[in-house]
Structure 1
Amino acid sequence: MIGSKRYGSKVQLNYLKGGDISYFIVYKSGKKTIYKKVGRKSEGINEKKAIELRNQILSELRHGIDLSQKSMKTLTLDRLAELYFASIAAHCKSHDKYKQEYERHIKPAFGDIPIAMLDDILIQEFQAIKLSDKKSKGSINQYIKGLKRILNYAIRKSIISHSPFKEIRMFQVDNSRLRYLSLKEVQLLQEEVQDHLLLKLVVKISLSTGARINSVLGIQKKHIDQENKTVQLYDHKRKCWYVGYLDQETFHLVCDHIQEFGINDHVVSTDGKKTKYADVYKLLRLIFDERFNQGLDKKDRANRVVIHTLRHTFASHLAIAGVSIQKIQKLMNHKDIKQTMKYAKLSPDSGRNAVEELYKG
């Protein structure tokens, strides 16, 4: 026997009379070296199939799963989910969220079904049921993405060789938010939060920097550059730091507030401890719903005012003021200028004035 040119000693080839080839795989089981015959070329076996079988056997040994054809008919999604969540528990911040979504939505529908019995029809039925339960299309897409993460993990670990689904069709969702606050609405919002220090800090910093709420809540005293009136912001989406600017009023508000704070204390707080997103969200949602969302459907993402609207308001008023799209991209820390182009229509150079004057003598 000779080793495979592609896979080395892991796959062994025995050339037979008549031109046929027998394939063997080699692996360790405990202290023993196992030589296992896979089959012949004339039977449809090749080096790729041999290495795939070897990977499955090694995965079986690692995970304690019987990967024989008989067992694959009984291996359930719950078992794969158990392995997946155990693998991400230590290093994935979204572990709890993903696991909760699985247990609430995916497990009741698919958990005890053998992997071999999952198919596209079951996904379509799941989507229909969730729609009837008044779940948004965006939320349903998230549940299915969670299912995909589990299956992709199992494929990467060679626990299964392929997904049981042929083509999962996701819902088309318009996630664009068109709404931004007018100058009068900005003034109204600032009046509403005037007597609530934490909300006032959140609103002022958000409108001055355009930062996402998690970035705002993460600001510490050491991130404030009092000489240049700037703030270091961490973009959790892009996983990088960038610089934001504080207007005069916000700068003095922040500096006065953190005067007695320690260098590592969080700015949006009363005691230096980081404020929880949920605490800010609940209070601001009440204000938004009462002042700006009256009569709007809860699923009207385009027009409802939410915390993220403050970010859109920042960018929108920059565009209205004639700031270049390139500068807005930098201030928003957008990776791709395509993300920023939606604000171009608000620019005074968008062509509106030219159209207004087009046929006037």
Structure 2
Amino acid sequence: MGNPRAKTFDETMFAAYRKLRLENVSPKTVNTEQTYVRALFNELTRLGEWTKGNPIEGIRMLKHKQSEMGFLQPEQVINLLETLRNAHNKDAQIITKICLSTGCRWGEAVNLRSEHIANNIVTFVSTKGNKPRSVPISTALSKQIPKRTGKLFPKSCNDSTFRTAIKNTKIKLPAGQMTHVLRHTFASHFMMNGGNILVLQRILGHASIVDTMKYSHFAPDNLEDAVRLNPLVGIE
């Protein structure tokens, strides 16, 4: 856009920018950028630094297809952990177990320090939403976590380690998904096993229940309703 002054920035300018951006990035990314720009002007208005309204308030978000959400089956989880163990990468194996047990992101687990684990409870501090959250874990897993002072895992435990393990197991994941499949796997199995959607929201740290609702269709009650409430009941 040529680094325009705020007073010259308008919907037409942003629409032209958006059209060009779509040649290189996804609609979801463009929507995120639009959200940031809108939030910027809203905050300037709140602070009394801007009085001309939000210049892109009238631009609608782009519609885009929801990306496929994959999750691992129990036998795939076993295979993945076995592959990491055979690769003699115990730290990556433990990080994977923490993600599968708590629904945390890979980076949240990697950044854990010794003071973040106490009484079988893991507290994630470096979170995407900048809000700490605590999740209980089993005694068995707690005993497996390294007893180190300070940072628990080395920098070498990046997502490339996990990527290699996935490749070796020949597990096929949806495009653009890698370590995040562990978070999806936790949430999907949590709901399939009868978990509460509101509890899941707290565990995952979602600010809005809307973000958590994408897992609601895994709830057993929802699946059983298809048998109980379909129009062939009493006819078959």
TM-score range, shorter chain: 0.7 to 0.9
Q: Which has the larger radius of gyration?
A: 1
Name the SS of the counterpart of 1:267 in structure 2.
coil
User: How far is the alpha carbon of 1:341 from its aligned partner?
Assistant: 3.8
Q: Is the 8 Å Cα contact of residues 38 and 57 (structure 2) preserved in structure 1?
A: no
Name the SS of the counterpart of 2:221 in structure 1.
coil
Match in the other structure for 2:204: 332
After superposition, the CA RMSD in angstroms is 3.4
1:114-157 alpha-carbon deviations (Å, 9 max, x no partner): 4444332222221111112x311122223334444554555456
Name the SS of the counterpart of 1:350 in structure 2.
helix
User: How far is the alpha carbon of 1:189 from its aligned partner?
Assistant: 1.7
With structure 1 as the length reference, what TM-score do the two structures score? 0.53
Matches within 5 A, 1:145-224: 145-152=35-42, 155=45, 160-162=50-52, 163-165=54-56, 167-174=58-65, 178-194=69-85, 195-224=88-117
Q: 1:120 is matched with which residue: 11, 15, 26? A: 11
Match in the other structure for 2:141: 250
1:222-277 alpha-carbon deviations (Å, 9 max, x no partner): 2222xx422223373444433322235422211xx21xx22xx12223xxxxx48x
Cα gap change, 1:141 to 1:183, in 2 (>3 Å): same
Identity %: 22
Q: 1:305 is matched with which residue: 161, 177, 198? A: 177
Q: Is the 8 Å Cα contact of residues 232 and 242 (structure 1) preserved in structure 2?
A: yes
Match in the other structure for 1:70: none
User: How far is the alpha carbon of 1:308 from its aligned partner?
Assistant: 2.0
1:150-201 alpha-carbon deviations (Å, 9 max, x no partner): 5455545655532444623332345565321111211122123222133212
Q: 2:25 is matched with which residue: 135, 139, 150? A: 135
Cα gap change, 1:334 to 1:136, in 2 (>3 Å): closer
Match in the other structure for 2:151: 266
User: Distance in 2 between the 1:241 and 1:188 partners?
Assistant: 32
Match in the other structure for 2:163: 285
User: Distance in 2 between the 1:341 and 1:150 partners?
Assistant: 28
The structure, 1 or 2, with the larger RCO (C-alpha pairs under 8 Å, 6+ apart) is: 2
With structure 2 as the length reference, what TM-score do the two structures score? 0.76
Match in the other structure for 1:110: 2
Name the SS of the counterpart of 1:231 in structure 2.
strand
Match in the other structure for 1:236: 127
Q: Which amino acid aligns with 2:186?
A: F
Q: Is the 8 Å Cα contact of residues 111 and 126 (structure 2) preserved in structure 1?
A: no
Name the SS of the counterpart of 2:191 in structure 1.
helix
- Structure 2, unaligned stretches of length 5 or more? none
Structure having the larger proportion of residues in strand: 1
Q: Is the 8 Å Cα contact of residues 329 and 340 (structure 1) preserved in structure 2?
A: yes
Cα gap change, 1:157 to 1:335, in 2 (>3 Å): closer
Count residues in correspondence: 229
